[in-house]
Structure 1
Amino acid sequence: MEPAMAAAATRDPEVRASEQDTFGFPHLPYQCQMQFMACVYETLDLGGIGILESPTGTGKTLSLLCPSLAWLRRRELSILAEELTPADQESDLWAQHIRTQAQLSAERVWERRREWREQRKSRARRSVALTSSGTQQQSKRRHVQPPVAESQENLSLEALYLEPPVTRTQQHSEEAFQQKLQIIFCSRTHSQLAQVLREIKTSQEVPENLAVVTLGARQSLCVHALKSRAKGGQHLNDLCRLATERRAGLVCDLKKSAEAMADVFLSQMMDIEAMAERGRAPVGGGCPYYGSRRALQEADVVLVPYASLVSAETRRKLGLRTEGNVLIFDEAHNLLEAIGESNSVTVTLQQAKCSVEDLEAYGQHYEARLSPKNALQLRQLRQLSLQLHRYMGALEKPCALTVGAFLVALGADHFDLPSLADFLLHTELPRKVRHFAERFALKPGTSSSVYAISDLLKALQFSSTEDRIICEPGTEASLRYLSLDAEARFREILVAARAVLFAGGTLEARELPVDVTRPLRSFSGPHVVPSSHILVRYVTHAGTQPLDFRKDQRSCDQTLAQLRLILTKAASATHGGAVFFFPSYEYLSVIAQTLDGSRLAGRRLFMEQNRRGGQSGGVKNDAATTLQSFASAVREDGSAVLFAVSGASLSEGIDFKDDLCRLVAVIGLPYPNASDLAMLEKMRFLDACAKREQGSLTGRDYYTGKCMKAVNQCVGRSIRHAKDWSAILLLDHRYGQPQIQQKIAGWLRTEATAGTFETAMCELKRFMDSSCPSSQ
């Protein structure tokens, strides 16, 4: 919650909360925030699912955290006692005795946890204590030896990996913190989680000795010099394993300090950057990645990106436990996409070709030394890769196949896929082939080939009848494994949780992995800004001509001329930043080519860059630099114009507050590519489900929903706190259709009217020139 919003809450008596439980909210909350927090607390206390809608800029994250932390502080001990109480009792007297004993046991466990936490804090303080001479302790020197070629014994399939034994210290804490109640808070990115951590520190009802641990991948937390040599996350995983085991001439002793790092992470609240910085410290440093994993079991609150929770393999590796815990998904409108992406695997024609070559070379070198079983499995894997390469090379048109049809078309329906997948896992073949290829310099860039085959095999091993293989032909041919019902698999995880909260600006139960058998509570709140601070218009016409930004119409000369005029007039009438969101990079580029120079209406013009290659017509820099340059221009000149793309980097998770965005306009409707095979298969699957289950999401609902989520996210960039203000223009004749308007966020619908651009311009000028926005 921004300071300006908090101050507004204390100044405006009409929107002050009544004298109720504010759950440690650091400021006097609005009534809608009180209702939001009450729904959160009730859901946690009674269990079940909560779906909470609140517009961007209404302090949603803080409204989630405060009742959750208050509930944890007030109820954790009693819940622990409940868990230790047997379900069935024979008599009231005996039941009372059992409850008393359970309460005493809970208090003993509670005290052990408190003592253990105090010991950790004490050790964390001593790790950076001063010596008697007043100088810092000298940490053990950690030498990093240069990498050398791995021995042939280590590259052989007969050399297996053994898990390290569990230490006594680990056993001690595991006993005390077994099945500990945790709040697992998920958001999309680490930058958003860092903001969550800052919000936690502002709550006035934080439990004593609250332990908050942020989880991240090695790519984010590794502080070893080998990280600079890693070619992607999987390569870093391999190097880490080798170095911590002192194999292949690599040495990393940082893992030995994981327990010391866990002491620090459970004693101090650190975001991902602070954790990595602490790991690099000459005194008290160590491995942040293994330190965070070691601290996980004892944490009260776990902050984790979606990708780590929705992936079954990542959950297993990190030790994330959902059973009996509280799961909170902030920005939950992204959740289904994250689940689908985590269950998707892609293999390219080039990867299949390289896999054949690498396995052939590896087999020639080692096959004579292998056991008969391993040699057979290696030949089968090589043959499977060869058939994949031939199949993709012969593709003539795109197609979508069931897993069974794909295996038949591939000629691999007789392969024992589970056995091959198990072979890859237990022999660590992908890692060994990678190092073999690098050692003998077979071909640059081929060393990750077998990983792609391994991922595909794992996906196929657990496939269902609802899964599809999307085949794309061409010189860059590819196969994409797509799990159409990935939400059902994830729903099984949520069933075991004590409570699940989905929060966002616009949410619908049909678009979330909700278990319908559990109690469901919902809340939808208004915006905290006065209606006089918002101007929302559906701009459907320019003069008598409808504004038509459908893909087959938007590049015609008349439409381009209309849009240039709209952009120029709207920008010239805006005091402060004007942000225009285009439906695609391609269309932004078309418009950029029709403009003269780097200015629009006398204002400096900035354009979002397409990271996937090419320039969209603007300055050659990334999104962060573009935003920084745009913000500087607004501060220096009092106004500037930004062209961005719906669904791209600048459309979500960015605060265009105050003068950075006094006008936001969305051009057209950013529908997904209608010819995309994956989208079509998903829509067909949902239509089939809708026929079986009345009221469930249809394919058309899903398709339209993805578009309107992008629109609502773009619009939400503008109003960031209670005293903010902005004009919002939605440009297209389709915004006049009731079925489209129903998908617009509720706080916008109540203020929106439809009309021509000429009418909207008159209202825009009055809004910009009015004394209310400029004076407040």
Structure 2
Amino acid sequence: MASERDVDNVSRHLEKLDFHHPFTPYEVQEQFMRTVYDVLETGNGQVGILESPTGTGKSLSLICASLTWLRNHKSSRHEAALQETTKASKDEPSWVVEQLLRQKREELVRRWEDREKRLEAARLTEKALEDRVRKRRRVDENAASRRTVDDEEAEWLLDDPDDRGGGSQDPLSGLSKESREILTKVGLGGWKGRDAAADEGEEPLEEGIKVRASTWSHVKVKVLSQFIAELRRPTFPSSLPTSMAQERKSKSEAVKLLPLSSRQKLCINPSVSRLGSVQAINDRCAELQQPKSGKKCQFVPRDELLSQTNEFRDTSLASLPDIEDLHQLGRSLAVCPYYASRTALPGAEIITLPYPLLLQKSARDALGIKLEGNIVIIDEAHNIMDAVASVHAADIRLTDLTRAKGMLGVYVRRFGKKLKGVNRVNVGRVGRVIAGLSEWMEAAMKVKQEHGIVDPNDLTRHKGIDQINMFELIQYIQESKLAFKIESYVAHVESENDPKGASKSATPVLHTLVSFLAALTNLSSEGRIFYEKTTGPAADMKLSYLLLSPTHAFSSIASSARAVVLAGGTMSPFDDYTNHLFPSLPFPKITTLSCGHVIPPENLCVWTLASTRPGAPEFEFSFQKRGDRGMITQLGMAIVNACSIVPDGVVVFFPSYGYLDEVVKVWQQQQPSQGQNSQSIWSRLEARKALFREEKGGSSDQVLGEYTQAILGGDGGTSKTKGALLLSVVGGKMSEGINFSDRLGRCVMVVGLPYPNIASPDWKAKIEYIESATYTQLTDGGTMGKEEARGKAKQASRDFYENACMRAVNQSIGRAIRHRGDYAAIVLIDRRFGSERIRSKLPGWIQGGMRPGGQEKGLGGLMGALGSFFRGRKAAEG
């Protein structure tokens, strides 16, 4: 009974909690924020998997819940520290304890006020800093981009291994001793340089627990800017204990945000940033920090830039910047934003970073990011498993290897006689690896199969690759900057031979090779190598490494953080996250939530169309049946009829580009008719709506712009048009990240269930892996019989396959309703959408909007439901 009372107390506490939401939150927002707060408060490795439909203010709710918890936690922590002081001094006279407590309070308040005043001053001078961009010493792009090293050998010749600095895991990798001391002095690494900072009149206050926020799309500046715009809306209380905050009248405290990114996004040295590829930029940056570098980067923090580095730290923490802001700030201060941003890490409360930097331990180490005891929030997390696989993927083409062989030859002809010892041996090993992989791929080009799985032992048998210590070779390539030196030298030679036509090594083939070799060293039961070949004039062969399971790769995050929150608009179905991201996590440590929508029930109409009429052949767009011309014709007629009722925009999602092409071909053909004026379905659609189609590889922006223009007209949406119909693809560019709000998406139709191609080598391998891993897990310890375990293992693989399909469907459906006043009809065209198993994998708000009886009533029932729905919405709008 005690535990029940505890739960009740927590529930009552959360009910009364003020989340500092800038608006009056909806009930679903309150529910969402309470759940996030509870997950963070419970801590100890707690995981929250939360679904809140797009348009319900999910991002703002995440911000309010997490920062409210963070400020409350810090306030409680400060109060607890004072309590500990009292306990530790219990044997002292009361006046001594009082004096000690007063000193502790005054010290805490003084440091807090000093920091807030310094950040406020930084905010006030921010505009002056922008003006200073035009007056201060600027980056001389033309001068910096010219080569400053006269001796080619100093730039491209491999250094003696004994003179190289290692430590690629060091967050300050490659920096000189002087630069390291400067960064420590202004606060890197937990403000260990506090005494030195105090001498400069800069006494920082380190934040404790931090929120690490990541989003699949944060690589796009626009999305991060939207997040920051939401972050500016609420006002949060001071992190001081409540009594002290009231005494000082400190009612609020600004949020300290730091967006982290790669050198590619932040580098302000033109001679480095112009290289383009991430690997080349990283290598050149590290090269410029070496003691023997002909000319070190002038922007790396050093004694002469101490004040600028301090100013960068304070301004970044004071201004809620995005990546572009940090870049511009670094340019205006002439200090490297990639390294200078490290000084702001200890003082930041929220740190944003894109998926690739969060999901790779090596990337986190390079940035100095520690997850232990901190909060990890992943927004738009529906793609998290694909993101893990993408981060660890690697591929190499035969044409890449041919190019790499030629580049290596050019380099050896120039510098071969100067290579000694370890350098000579390892350059030879790189040549053997290139030759061995090329030999295997050339032989595979002659086999009939166009794709398949590769045995890694067979792959490395050629030219004795299996006798090479691949770990040591990769480490050598990374530390020697071999790939960068060879590619930059070859680019130099090509530019001299053909200044106009020379490419600047746009394809970093040697860096690509290193990534693939690293994947070879990571091979385990969770990974596979595949081959795929193309024939014709551009015949080629590609080897790809695919991570089959995200479990191991994600485990370092789940096991380190205080709490992990996965949030998205369409997270359903939830099973995959619990089974494949956190399979060993006890059930009580996982909290799931699927919120309803903020729209009223009358703003949503969901219908399952199983056939055109009772007794007619049913719609089933399975791979075996979807080529039926009669069914395709009936589908076209159903859409023609719907377009006669639905106003404005209609979006239809098909399972694949190939099937969309097949359907359009049938629709464009003349249809048999009893009358003389026979019309194709395509012509009938064009008569009702302006018709647009998403093309594979085409410009989605152009299609979307024309579609929008056809619906809204040239007056921003007040004109009346016949509307438009957009034929799109589930999983295509239109199915994710694009909003069909209001008139742009009054009806969304999904044709069939877009199951992945189960005959493809990668999906075969995934299914086999899940079956094998599940079977092993169930039979370990002998708790389950083999036959029962085998059946459950097969069901687990089927569920994973079906869940991948339904996540794609749910993403497409979510494109329509974007805010509380929006309304739309959703039509699911396939009899299988009527099964309980499939319906259970739809988001809760879609299930709640499902109109009963649609499965049996056919097209007539759909037309009646659509007519009634849109008449009601028109009447409500007045």
* Smaller-chain TM-score bracket: 0.7 to 0.9
CA contact (8 A) 2:621 2:751 kept: yes
CA contact (8 A) 1:129 1:137 kept: no
- 1:689 aligns to what? 773
- SS at structure 2 position matched to 1:43: helix
1:506 pairs with 555, 564, 571, which one? 571
Structure 1 position 535 matched with structure 2 position 605: yes
Q: CA deviation at 1:254?
A: 7.9
Mean Cα displacement is larger for which, 159-168 or 448-457?
A: 159-168
- 1:184 aligns to what? 212
Q: CA deviation at 1:723?
A: 2.2
Change (3 A) 1:563 1:184: same
Change (3 A) 1:80 1:103: farther
CA contact (8 A) 1:55 1:506 kept: no
- 1:557 aligns to what? 629
2:322 pairs with 254, 266, 271, which one? 271
Deviations 1:62-117 (A, max 9, x none): 2211111111112124346779999xx999979x999x999987985785465346
Deviations 1:254-300 (A, max 9, x none): 876555433322111123344445556xx557554444444333211
- 1:575 aligns to what? 647
Q: CA deviation at 1:545?
A: 1.7
- 1:10 aligns to what? none
In 2, Cα distance between equivalents of 1:416 and 1:84? 56
- 1:70 aligns to what? 68
- 1:147 aligns to what? 146
Counting only pairs closer than 5 Å after superposition, residues 172-251 of structure 1 correspond to structure 2 as 172-174=186-188, 175-176=190-191, 180-190=208-218, 191-205=222-236, 208-222=253-267, 225=270, 229-238=274-283, 240=285
Counting only pairs closer than 5 Å after superposition, residues 431-442 of structure 1 correspond to structure 2 as 431-441=484-494
- 1:171 aligns to what? 185
Structure 1 position 516 matched with structure 2 position 585: yes
* Structure 1 alignment gaps of length 5 or more: 1-17, 616-621
The aligned amino acid for 1:539 is L
Deviations 1:353-380 (A, max 9, x none): 2222222332232232222122111101
- SS at structure 2 position matched to 1:413: helix
Change (3 A) 1:562 1:137: closer
Question: Could you tell me the TM-score, scaled by structure 2's length?
Answer: 0.77
Deviations 1:432-490 (A, max 9, x none): 01111112229855861211121122233343343221122443211112232332232
Counting only pairs closer than 5 Å after superposition, residues 375-394 of structure 1 correspond to structure 2 as 375-394=424-443
The aligned amino acid for 1:523 is L
The aligned amino acid for 1:585 is Y
In 2, Cα distance between equivalents of 1:677 and 1:575? 44
- 2:877 aligns to what? 775
Q: CA deviation at 1:214?
A: 1.8
- 1:495 aligns to what? 559
- 1:709 aligns to what? 807
Change (3 A) 1:528 1:82: same
Figure out how many residues of one structure are paired with residues of the other and give that number: 744
The aligned amino acid for 1:230 is L
- SS at structure 2 position matched to 1:479: strand
The aligned amino acid for 1:371 is K
Mean Cα displacement is larger for which, 599-608 or 241-250?
A: 241-250
CA contact (8 A) 2:211 2:350 kept: yes
In 2, Cα distance between equivalents of 1:194 and 1:51? 25
CA contact (8 A) 2:257 2:320 kept: yes
In 1, Cα distance between equivalents of 2:731 and 2:53? 18
* Structure 2 alignment gaps of length 5 or more: 1-13, 166-173, 192-204, 239-252, 669-681, 714-719, 779-791
The aligned amino acid for 1:767 is F
CA contact (8 A) 2:175 2:286 kept: no
- 2:677 aligns to what? none
- SS at structure 1 position matched to 2:232: helix
Mean Cα displacement is larger for which, 495-504 or 756-765?
A: 756-765
CA contact (8 A) 1:598 1:604 kept: no
- 2:530 aligns to what? 470
Q: CA deviation at 1:740?
A: 1.6
CA contact (8 A) 1:22 1:34 kept: no
In 2, Cα distance between equivalents of 1:93 and 1:757? 85
- 2:31 aligns to what? 35
CA contact (8 A) 1:244 1:252 kept: no
Change (3 A) 1:347 1:31: same
Structure 1 position 333 matched with structure 2 position 382: yes
Aligned-residue CA RMSD (Å): 3.7
The aligned amino acid for 2:830 is D
1:453 pairs with 501, 508, 513, which one? 513
In 2, Cα distance between equivalents of 1:102 and 1:510? 51
Change (3 A) 1:763 1:101: farther
CA contact (8 A) 2:122 2:318 kept: no
The aligned amino acid for 2:690 is R
Structure 1 position 602 matched with structure 2 position 688: yes
Change (3 A) 1:137 1:61: closer
Q: CA deviation at 1:138?
A: 2.5
CA contact (8 A) 1:66 1:203 kept: yes
Q: CA deviation at 1:632?
A: 2.5
Mean Cα displacement is larger for which, 313-322 or 237-246?
A: 237-246
Structure 1 position 644 matched with structure 2 position 728: yes
Change (3 A) 1:126 1:28: closer
Q: CA deviation at 1:340?
A: 0.9
Structure 1 position 757 matched with structure 2 position 859: yes
Change (3 A) 1:420 1:225: closer
- SS at structure 2 position matched to 1:438: helix
- 1:629 aligns to what? 706
- 2:200 aligns to what? none
The aligned amino acid for 2:394 is V
In 1, Cα distance between equivalents of 2:702 and 2:335? 33
2:19 pairs with 4, 18, 23, which one? 23
In 1, Cα distance between equivalents of 2:350 and 2:841? 34
- 1:13 aligns to what? none
Counting only pairs closer than 5 Å after superposition, residues 38-117 of structure 1 correspond to structure 2 as 38-47=34-43, 48-79=46-77, 108=107, 112=111, 115-116=114-115
- 1:731 aligns to what? 829
In 2, Cα distance between equivalents of 1:313 and 1:667? 43
Question: Could you tell me the TM-score, scaled by structure 1's length?
Answer: 0.86
Change (3 A) 1:630 1:446: closer
CA contact (8 A) 1:438 1:447 kept: no
Q: CA deviation at 1:53?
A: 2.1
Q: CA deviation at 1:346?
A: 0.8
